[in-house]
Homo-oligomer: A and B are copies of this chain.
Amino acid sequence: MSKENKSLKDLQHSIIQFRNERNWQQFHKLKDLLLGLNIEAGELNELFLWKDDKEIESVDKVKTADELADIFIFLTYISEHFNIDLGEAIEKKIEKNAKKYPVDKAFGSNKKYTEL
């Protein structure tokens, strides 16, 4: 099994298929999907709370990977709700960010584009 070239769409398709097989669409109201996203972000945060740089690096990578995946799953549900092409959205956002943060102005700066 080569994971190297897995497309975003294929991953999202697997997630939606998993859901539909369980007939969970009925529960997937948008505001619940948003709450779910916040919950998963909180669970990711919790892995690192109070930890210093060294302790952060010894947190179980599998747990971290699982939480990141959970966040992606909710991203997928929300994209699907609005029929948004997430891959396209990401590419367009990178283009927009490139205009907001041109290399010559943004290089090495932690300022927001409104303050550059």
Contacts and interface: CB of A to CB of B under 8 A. Distances in A.
Contacts of A36: 49
Contact of A72 (B5, B26, B75, B107): B75
B84 A65 contact: yes
This chain: copies in complex: 4
A72 B97 contact: no
Contacts of A37: 41, 44, 71
Interface of A: 3-9, 11, 14-15, 18, 21-24, 26-27, 30-32, 34-46, 48-51, 56, 61, 64-66, 68-73, 75, 78-79, 82, 84-94, 96-98, 101, 103, 106-110
Which 5 interchain pairs have the tightest Cβ spacing? A42-B42, A69-B93, A65-B89, A50-B110, A69-B89
B72 A22 contact: no
